[in-house]
Amino acid sequence: MPSDGWTVTSFDTADVAQVTAALRSCNAAASFAPAVAAGRPYGSADALVARAGEVSRALPWEEVAQALAAHPRIGDRVSGDSAEAASSRREQSSMGSADEQVTEAILAGNRAYEDRFDHVFLIRAAGRTPAEMLAELQRRLTHTPEQERPEVLEQLAQITELRVRGLVA
């Protein structure tokens, strides 16, 4: 990453290894970063973000599972200084104001969700209150795996789009 951060122009012209590494912090699925990097030049943040969403929404489930493994649980304290950790802390910042009942309900819901679906509960936390995230968790716990997978994929795409936009902001 350039020392002063990415612009769309620097993203479009940088070494493919640098761009791919930066994109991996936005979505850990194996084919995501190479596919988005191969689409350069984009010329605008909107075009880059649109492509990131398109690639994310087309990922096979096996790669979605890879990406899910890189996401912390909603409500967990995220440590580390990686770009992924910093993004998670920023996206989940509203959890810092959650009351104890909501926090406990989310933590219990996370366990129930993981028992039911065998992966972390994924939701675009940015722009949502803890109560909204809890309501979504409870709603999605009623799904079958077949109903849940498209929701997970859409949430992953939304998170990826936010992170890619932040990359070139």
Residue ranges covered by each domain of the chain: 8-167
C-alpha separations of 45 from 48, 89, 111 in Å = 5, 23, 37
pLDDT given for residue 109 in this prediction: 95
**Beta carbons within 10 angstroms of residue 66's beta carbon:** 17
pLDDT in tens, the chain (169 residues): 665 689 999 999 999 999 999 999 999 999 999 999 999 999 999 999 999 999 999 999 999 999 999 888 876 555 555 455 455 445 554 455 567 898 899 999 999 999 999 999 999 988 899 999 999 999 999 999 999 999 999 999 999 999 999 999 8
CA distance 32 to 38: 10
33 burial type by CB count under 10 A (0-12 exposed, 13-18 middle, 19+ buried): buried
Length of the chain: 169
| Cα torsion 46, 78, 66, 3: sign | positive
Domain covering 8-167, topology: UraD-like (1.10.3330)
What is the value of pTM for the model shown? Answer: 0.86
CA distance 38 to 152: 25
